[in-house]
Amino acid sequence: MSLSIISDTITRRVANRRDRRAFLRMPWSIYQDDPHWVPPLLAEVRTRLNPRKNPYFEHAEAAMFLAEREGKIVGRISAQICQLAQVHQGAGTGHFGFFECEDRVETATALFDIAAKWLADAGMDRMVGPFNLSINEEAGLLIDGFHRPPYIFMSHNPAYYDALFVACGMAKETDVYAYHLDISKPYPQRLERILKAAKRNTQINLRNVDRQNLEAELGLLLELFNDSWSENWGHIPMTQGEVNDLAMLIRRLFSTDAVVLAEIDGKVVGFIVVIPNLNEFTADLNGKLFPWGWLRMLYRIKRTPCGSVRVPLMGVSREYQSTRTGAAIALTMIDRCRTASINNGATLCEMSWILESNRSMRSILDASGSTLDKTYRLYSRCI
């Protein structure tokens, strides 16, 4: 068992069912008075951390740690080693995530130190995060934009976490942004003109994925995602197992209208994913799906219009990036999803996350009337 004592704080590796339950339940002690916190669905987090159920563990391993003082759990952290990251982010790069901590530098230090030691013992010389568990899941620490609850699959944390990170030697790697838009309002006139011109590009064909052939369709998305995002900061290719998980999620909770593909001459050259903000439906479940939470959530999904949606993924083939045709592909996909979302009862949309270095996409979002709503930061530290 990994065990460390710093001052009066004991840190240890999660080793049994009792520890795992404490790890899962720890956030409740941090956010009990936070009106914007959406309790995570415990069953979903439990599945994500289960190596037998999460395809992430086909190419990665992870350890979870707790901090305890005077018999009370006061913090948690995970440490991960992803083999794909060794290829695409540099050998020796380890990750951390699931950070929760009381407002005490000594506790945060103990957590980062035990995670760093586990990574160093495995040959890592650098830790980057937070990732819960990977960059393709929840990523980044909220440092600005505490005024509203998070959208689905986005993180939320107390404002004091940034100070804890800095005090523990964590330095900024990059920022990622969430943009917010009232889609019930008309576009600015300038964007209307650009959209009309884009729609005259008759070579672009938009379609939804075929539910009868969902796995193959999402395979096209996988290929395009790995191509279009390949030069982005921190990119790690999605695997077929992760795409299969996405297909299962779409079948269970979302419609195939959530995914739009753009084609030119029969070749898929763009995609966009738009999903209902299910945090609207789960915020009052207190993290519990059983025995009745699951039924309540499904009833709401089927019977209640979701007032907000999130765009978690969008990509344009590299051959069209930074071209007029590429801009036309992006704008027509956004407009198609905006219209569908309004017809389904939504009025608000979050587009997240967007790299601070992605000037072209940020320009499109600025032109659409979107506002920069939240900032999330990724940090690193040598170990």
Cα 377 to the chain's mean position, in Å?
A: 13
Domain ranges of the chain: 3-176, 181-375
Q: Which residue has the higher pLDDT, 143 or 252?
A: 143
pLDDT at res. 323:
85
Dihedral angle of Cα 212, 216, 221, 225, to the nearest 10 degrees: 160
Q: Mind listing the pLDDT tens digit for each residue in 18-66? A: 999 999 999 999 999 999 999 999 999 999 999 999 999 999 999 999 9
pLDDT at res. 360:
82
pLDDT mean over 324-336: 88
- Cα–Cα distance, 105 to 358 (Å, whole number): 34
The lowest-confidence range among 247-256, 305-314, 320-329 is 247-256
Query: Strand 126-129 and strand 93-101: pairing?
Result: parallel
Angle 91-95-101 from CA coordinates, rounded to 5°: 155
Q: What is the DSSP letter of 213?
A: G
Q: What are phi and psi of 314, to 5 degrees?
A: -155, 145
CATH number for the domain formed by residue range(s) 181-375: 3.40.630.30
pLDDT at res. 1:
52
Mean pLDDT of the residues in the chain: 91
Q: 321 is written with which tokens?
A: 């990036």
Q: What is the DSSP letter of 19?
A: H
Q: Check: CB of residue 170 under 8 Å from CB of residue 381.
A: yes
> Looking at the predicted structure, is the pLDDT value of residue 322 above 90?
no
> Looking at the predicted structure, is the pLDDT value of residue 7 above 70?
no
Percent of the chain past pLDDT 90, that is, above it, reads 62
Domain 3-176 and domain 181-375 have a common topology:
yes
The DSSP-derived string for 314-342 is EEE-TTTTTSHHHHHHHHHHHHHHHHHHH
Other C-beta atoms closer than 10 Å to the C-beta of 336 total: 18
Q: Mind listing the pLDDT tens digit for each residue in 177-222? A: 999 999 999 888 888 888 888 777 778 999 988 877 877 887 887 8
Give 200's strand partners. none
- Where b means 16+ CB within 10 Å and e means fewer, 129-168 reads bbbbbbbbebbbbbbbbeeebbbbbbbbbbeebbebbeeb
Q: Which of 291, 297, 220 is nearest to 38 (CA)?
A: 297
Q: Mind listing the pLDDT tens digit for each residue in 256-271? A: 678 899 999 989 999 9
Q: Check: CB of residue 256 under 8 Å from CB of residue 208.
A: yes
pLDDT at res. 189:
85
Output the CA–CA distances (angstroms, integers) from residue 30 to 73, 137, 156, 165, 286, in the order listed: 11, 22, 11, 16, 14
> Looking at the predicted structure, is the pLDDT value of residue 320 above 60?
yes
Q: Mind listing the pLDDT tens digit for each residue in 291-316? A: 888 889 888 888 889 999 999 988 89
Q: Which residue has the higher pLDDT, 66 or 249?
A: 66
- CA-based R_g, the chain, Å: 21
pLDDT at res. 102:
97
Q: 117 is written with which tokens?
A: 């030691």
- Cα–Cα distance, 93 to 54 (Å, whole number): 21
- Cα–Cα distance, 313 to 317 (Å, whole number): 13
- Cα–Cα distance, 262 to 43 (Å, whole number): 35
Q: Check: CB of residue 99 under 8 Å from CB of residue 161.
A: yes
Output the CA–CA distances (angstroms, integers) from residue 20 to 12, 66, 328, 358, in the order listed: 12, 9, 48, 38
- Cα–Cα distance, 230 to 236 (Å, whole number): 8
Q: What is the DSSP letter of 283?
A: G
| 2: confidence class by pLDDT, cuts 50, 70, 90 | low
Domain 3-176 in CATH: superfamily?
Gcn5-related N-acetyltransferase (GNAT) (3.40.630.30)
Helix (H) or strand (E) holding 60: strand 60-69
> Looking at the predicted structure, is the pLDDT value of residue 342 above 90?
yes
